[in-house]
Structure 1
């Protein structure tokens, strides 16, 4: 009999393209992934990867098996969604993927209300900057700063998040505009809208700090490190002044997304309604 776990590990490896990336995805060490792939090859009596000094590369047969394995993985995720969608009680675990600063400032302050209204829901909050795959079960619901493009998602725009340049007043008082230095997002977020907006204003002026954390950007700006692009809800907290660099600023849309299979599940609907309310609060800083 074919061991599904071995095939699962191989499917993740084929998708991630490396042992280390697959190991991170699966929450194991890379030796475990390699061992699972070897066990699958043994059971199939078929070579699936070429073992090179610095990488595993799929063979022709490996590519064919990987394609079939992907379909099986998708089928498994579909079964899981169908099972969850069949639950009619407002209870159980519901997971949401949301950027960390957005979660801390928009959602967490209102969690007591969700608890009071739906005491049998366990909320799992995955605070991350990357885009979680809803079809692959990485979360039930996602809060994103761009409109989802996947065909199998149901999405709703729930707000606007404005951004501006911010710096410490002391920094601005002693620094000429042509001498401003900047704080930017790290390479993992280099294609974000706000990063591209920052790049358009750099004019060859230096970057002095890179980080994937908006909160660290804010603290660094408060300390006089340089100018940072921040959402209003962080920039207006205190200690910073808004900086005009010749345009009207940047706005990003806030979107709520869910897989179409889960859209009408009572517990998921309850959490979605709660999230909409969070972004409609008077203190939501959508200036």
Structure 2
């Protein structure tokens, strides 16, 4: 197969993100027939169908979705190359707000923002720390790191990777209470909860832990506070593995209980994704968070 023309890949990328030929054509400054021919050309060259029409919109086929991530990576690399060649990365300015949970904001974002500061020193970053889903449609934040897939049609979501969380306790707690390893042992020990409504208890039960409200020694809706309680020795708590593994004062317990696996989504509004400052921040976050923090730390 001949090498793909970047213009054709760009036509596919913008059509997939805009959801229609007309919207993508406006974004690229092309006529709709011209863009349509480019999309048809890449489908012919690949020998596959990349889109299916659903109502008035075009949705990527499964093959199209598989190609989309590669096209996005190529688009980001092309833009970064152009910015670097022209020296414009240093000149990009303005404020970009990022919404993230308190643990992600405190432990994963700071080294990434330091790297961003070196690349684009005129950019200013506002961190919106919340465990709730910031409403990007109302511009509560420009970019959000979420653990659920966005369903709003005006939002663009990119699945960066699957992360994991396990159960931990302080070393002092383990010395005093032993090291529980199996789910059945959990009922004999204290836990730090996140709410009194029963939602967190229900989640732990669904994960195979035979607990009741009597197992909770303390509650903290804020996960940073909850983690402080675990580190102080009030009981067992769940934590993102890459955060907990960097803490020398805790050890993993309930080792035979499978970790909780959850996604990390990078989300922004379709209209904002075209702003250069938003794209620069999105691309850095995507590049760094596609690998665990320890592995990403050495890459630019």
Asked whether the two chains share a fold, i.e. TM above 0.5, the reply is yes
Contact 1:96 1:124 (8 Å CA) reproduced = yes
**How many correspondences in the alignment?**
195
* Residue of structure 1 aligned with 2:192, choices 169, 183, 187: 183
SS of the counterpart of 1:135? helix
Shift of 1:161: 2.1
Post-superposition CA distance 1:64-117 (Å, at most 9, x none):
xxxxxxxxxxxxxxxxxxxxxxxxx83211111111210121111232221221
* Residue of structure 1 aligned with 2:129, choices 127, 130, 133: 127
Post-superposition CA distance 1:8-33 (Å, at most 9, x none):
xxxxxxxxxxxxxxxxxxxxxxxxxx
Give the structure 1 partner of residue 211 of structure 2: 203
- Is residue 222 from structure 1 mapped to residue 231 from structure 2 by the alignment? yes
- Is residue 265 from structure 1 mapped to residue 267 from structure 2 by the alignment? no
Contact 1:107 1:278 (8 Å CA) reproduced = no
Residues 182 and 238 from structure 1, CA distance in 2 versus in 1: closer, same or farther, beyond 3 angstroms? same
SS of the counterpart of 2:164? strand
Give unpaired runs (5+ residues) of structure 1.
1-88
Contact 2:161 2:291 (8 Å CA) reproduced = no
SS of the counterpart of 1:262? helix
**Backbone CA RMSD of aligned residues:** 2.5
Give the structure 2 partner of residue 155 of structure 1: 157
Residues 242 and 285 from structure 1, CA distance in 2 versus in 1: closer, same or farther, beyond 3 angstroms? farther
Give the structure 2 partner of residue 114 of structure 1: 116
Contact 1:90 1:267 (8 Å CA) reproduced = yes
Post-superposition CA distance 1:194-237 (Å, at most 9, x none):
76432432432421111123232222222221111111123221
SS of the counterpart of 1:261? helix
CA distance in 1, matches of 2:271, 2:195: 35
- Is residue 248 from structure 1 mapped to residue 254 from structure 2 by the alignment? no
CA distance in 1, matches of 2:253, 2:262: 18
Residues 124 and 107 from structure 1, CA distance in 2 versus in 1: closer, same or farther, beyond 3 angstroms? same
Mean Cα deviation higher: 230-239 or 194-203: 194-203
Contact 1:218 1:235 (8 Å CA) reproduced = no
Contact 1:198 1:229 (8 Å CA) reproduced = no
TM-score (norm 1): 0.61
